[in-house]
Amino acid sequence: MNEETKEISWEDFSKVEMRVGTIVKAKNFPEAKRPAFILEIDFGDYGLKKSSAQITELYNLDDLEGRKVVAVVNFPPKQIANFMSECLVLGAVDESRISLLGVDETAENGLRIA
């Protein structure tokens, strides 16, 4: 563990609701400060949620619909420009490029990540 990484307890980790979802709609988000897309994600029994995602370096809009992703669904909504983001899509960050964290196609929407 490097000096920047701070330990959390298992209790802290258990509070984070990471769930599987499928992107059902993706569109450009020109009002964002940095290039981004608006994603609408189906989380099964947890419903549809929207998110802003700065993933334009590695992904095209056409590649996103139908893609399985992992997102944190229990953060409070966050305003980004004129948009309220309802979840945080997870990805691996390498400078300005973000690679989406995903699961096998067989994982059902709404499954919890543990």
Here the CATH number for the domain that contains residue 61 is 2.40.50.140
Please give the backbone phi and psi of residue 39, each rounded to the nearest 5 degrees, phi first: -115, 140
CA nearest neighbour of 47 among 84, 19, 13: 19
Q: Which domain holds residue 88?
A: 16-100
Write out residues in the chain with pLDDT < 50, as ranges.
none
Q: Is residue 111 part of a domain?
A: no
Q: Is residue 54 part of a domain?
A: yes
Q: Is residue 9 part of a domain?
A: no
pLDDT at 2: 62
Q: How many domains does the chain have?
A: 1
Concatenating the DSSP letter of every residue in 45-99 gives GG-EEEEEE--TTT--HHHHTT-EEEEE--SPPEEETTEEE-SEE-EEEETTEEE
pLDDT at 44: 97
Q: Is residue 38 part of a domain?
A: yes
pTM strictly above 0.75: yes
